[in-house]
Amino acid sequence: ITSQEHLDTLPSGCTLSSMIKFDDTNHDGKLSINEFYTAFSKLYSVSVVSLDKALETNHLSARVDDNVEIKCDVTGSPVPPIVWRRNQLDLSTLNEEEVRVFNDGSLYLTRIQLQHAGNYTCHAQRNKDVVQTHVLTVHTIPEVHVTPRIQSKRPNEDATMFCHVAGEPFPK
C-alpha cells in the first residue's frame, strides 16, 4: 500500500500505521467508521454523502413566467459541491439566462415556460450514486374560446355554440 499510494513521500516519522494509531481516539486498536473517515480524509478528500429516503423524489409545480428556486437535499461532510442535470446534461455548463446553478447547491429557473417541465436531478460532484430527482410541472392559465360569439335566434329556437378549452394541465 505504501508504494501504491506514494505514502513513502510523507515526511519521515509519519507512517500509515502512526496515522491510524493517532486517529484511534478511543484507543481500542481499531478504527470506527468515524475514526476511519477522520484518518483517511487527511490522505484523500473523503466525503460522506447522504439523502433522506423520503426526499429522493420531490414534486413541485409552477405557472408559466414564474421563477423557481430548487434546493438540493443531498448533504455531506464536508459539504460536497452539487451537480444539477436535466436529460443527462450538466446545467452549470449551459449559457442560458433562465437556468442558473449557484454555489450553495441551489438551482434557479427564471421566467419558466412549458419546455422547462420535467425532471431535474442533483448529486454530489464526486458521488453519482446518491441522487435526488425534482419533478417540475408547469401550469398555464386555462384559455376558453367560444364560437360564434354572437348569435341571433328567435324565441324557442336552438342556439349552437362551440367551446374550445386549452391549458396545461388540461382543464376539466
Q: Which domains does the chain have, with CATH numbers?
A: 7-46 (no CATH), 50-139 (2.60.40.10)
Reported pTM: 0.63
Give the pLDDT mean for 91-117.
93
pLDDT for the residue numbered 114: 92
pLDDT for the residue numbered 150: 86
Give the pLDDT mean for 160-164.
88
145 CB-near residues (< 8 Å, 6+ apart): 163, 164, 165
- Contact, 132 vs 74, CB < 8 A? yes
Give the pLDDT mean for 9-13.
57
pLDDT for the residue numbered 133: 97
pLDDT category of residue 29 using cuts at 50, 70 and 90: confident
CA angle, residues 98, 171, 108, in degrees to nearest 5: 15
Q: Is the pLDDT of residue 32 over 70?
A: yes
pLDDT for the residue numbered 66: 95
**Tally of CA atoms within 13 A in the half-sphere of 77 that contains its CB:** 3
Q: Is the pLDDT of residue 169 over 70?
A: yes
pLDDT digits 0-9 by tens, 33-81: 777 766 666 555 556 788 898 899 999 999 999 999 999 999 988 888 9
* Rounded Cα–Cα distance for residues 84 and 106 (Å): 9
Q: Is the pLDDT of residue 5 over 70?
A: no
pLDDT for the residue numbered 30: 79
**Tally of CA atoms within 13 A in the half-sphere of 105 that contains its CB:** 16
* Rounded Cα–Cα distance for residues 43 and 129 (Å): 23
pLDDT digits 0-9 by tens, 125-151: 888 889 999 999 999 888 888 888 888
pLDDT for the residue numbered 148: 85
111 CB-near residues (< 8 Å, 6+ apart): 65, 67, 98
